[in-house]
Amino acid sequence: MSLERFRSLVRCYIDKHQYDSAVFWADKVVTMSKGDVHDVYMLAQSLYHTKQYHRAAHLIRNRRLDKTHKAGRYLAAKCLEAVQKWEEALNVLEGCDESDITIFQPRIEEMKLEDQKDELDRIPLQNVESSMSLLKGQIYEALENRIQAAECYRQAIFEDVHCYEAFELLVKHQMLTADEEKDLLQSLPISEQCPLEDLEFVRSLYQSILKKYDKPVSTKLADCLISLGNNLDIQTNTAERHYYNCDFRTSYKITRSVLESDPFHETCLPVHIATLVELKKSNELFYLAHRLVDLHPDKAVSWFAVGCYYYLVGKNEPARRFLSKATAIDRLYGPAWLAFGHSFAAEGEHDQAMAAYFTASRLMKGCHLPLLYVGLEYGLTKNFKLADKFFSQALGIASSDPFVLHEMGVVAFHNGDWETAATHFNEALGIVQNINSQTLADKWEPLLNNLGHVYRKLKKYEESLEYHRQALILSPQNPSTFSAIGYVYALMSQFSKAIDYFHKALGVGRDDTFSVTMLTHSIEQYIGEMSPCTGGSETVPDLEVVVKEEVVATTEKSNSSLDMEVEMDEEDSSLSKLLM
């Protein structure tokens, strides 16, 4: 009878995922080999695969593998982590577990420690230190000690630069700011652990995973990643960059292609769902959400898709119900928390929206978006001092995000600080144009219009008209842009052109009260300036034009989830819009 043949049989059944058969034969091999350490470890692995976690942990600790070898300690901790015995698992990992004193130890006293270590060297597990650090981080995160968890993840990837899981958790769970992520990548000992020819490849792969929404970035692949152009992960990263560059159509085209190849690509699904919401493809989102729920009801992304569908069609109450289910499955699922806040914001429930955003901010320390949205809500309640405070905090995390700079410009505009507003708006536009040098996305139409408004405040009417015309190119049927151009012409006393643009504004949006008021005023002024017709009486009736100063409140509609009240009068106006 050959022990090696039965050992090979156990490994074969593990490879074929027939774990019950593996457990059966591994148990017999342990008995025949009189408790050979390698065979005990293989039996514990088989028990782990059959989800007999308590039994596997007991076996390892009973044979003291957790005291004599790191691989045994790691597997015992994995078993305890699987049954949510967090503190006990940490004690095992840290080598300070005392509970095994009362456990029966049948043969460890008879074995020589040196011989046992020689046998343990046969266990086929390398660089277990990184895996132990990763597991320790996951346990700390389960205990809501996110600071300690982040340190463990850092340690894991320093011990093994190929430990993608640790790097992904740091990025996915928003534990680091964008600058901290870049510093981490630069400090990794890649050159020490990778061959020279792999160095740039590994570094560029990790670079493609880093935060993509702190500022618009180029979507061009690094030269060393060209060979991975058809890789679905790389395509998803590219689609995500297009999404945060506000190129939703290109992003949708890529994500749809990825999901055609792999319908349940976990990284691609949230990006695809977000593009469907932005492009208002409710039917497609409906079918995707129902398919995900049918096949993966235990995944947070499935219920996130359902919640996004109801949010898109304006049914915010059921949207919140399903988004809550997503956060119940995965309490760290950031997109669901943000969408939960958006559903309240869409109904003007500012306090509840901010509560959701504050929760998201607590869970996503390295992400500036929750702070940005809190600032937006304070802006809507006219509390511009607090709005500016949160925008400044968001800017501290993402100093080059044009959305944050735009919102700070809006606050400065409301505070009457036209120069500061112009500075913020121009800085935001410069960042956007640095990536999209030829054409801007439709999403940036409010930024161009706001530049027009602030230059009108500064009485730079030609510059104001130029920005409004650029905004009109991005959104040709926006009545607010027509009325803004008409208003500038009125201030320049070019009433004929002003009348023309106010007519265009009313042709698109006939309920525009400001355009009606200004059209009446412009016509009266234009009539007063007209010379009498040829051959008519030279006596011109003295018509006294009385124009009362009044403030007309309108509500601007944009691609944002937020609406801001806009005040316009004879002398000035402030058409402020907010972007997501």
DSSP 311-370: HHTT-HHHHHHHHHHHHHH-TT-HHHHHHHHHHHHTTT-HHHHHHHHHHHHHH-TT-SHH
Confidence (pLDDT) at 568? 33
Whether 424 and 406 have beta carbons less than 8 Å apart is answered as yes
Pairing of strands 573-574, 565-568: antiparallel
> Which CATH architecture best describes the domain 365-452+460-466?
Alpha Horseshoe (1.25)
Distance CA 373, CA 380 (A): 11
Eight-class DSSP state of 572:
-
> Which CATH architecture best describes the domain 477-528?
Alpha Horseshoe (1.25)
Confidence (pLDDT) at 184? 93
CATH code for the part of the protein at 245-357: 1.25.40.10
Confidence (pLDDT) at 60? 94
Q: What is the pLDDT of residues 521-536, one digit of tens each?
A: 889 888 877 665 555 5
Confidence (pLDDT) at 103? 32
Distance of CA 500 to the CA centre of its chain: 44
Do 477-528 and 365-452+460-466 have the same topology in CATH?
Answer: yes
What's the mean per-residue pLDDT of the chain?
A: 85
In angstroms, what CA-CA distances link 309 with 275, 287, 304, 340, 515?
A: 12, 10, 9, 12, 36
Q: What is the pLDDT of residues 26-62, one digit of tens each?
A: 999 999 999 899 999 999 999 999 999 999 999 999 9
- Which residues, other chains included, contact 42 with Cβ-Cβ below 8 Å and sequence gap of 6+? 7, 10, 11, 26, 29
Residue numbers of the chain with a pLDDT score lower than 50: 97-121, 540, 543-580
Confidence (pLDDT) at 442? 86
Is the whole-model pTM more than 0.85? no
- Going from N- to C-terminal start, the domains of the chain cover 245-357, 365-452+460-466, 477-528
Eight-class DSSP state of 76:
H
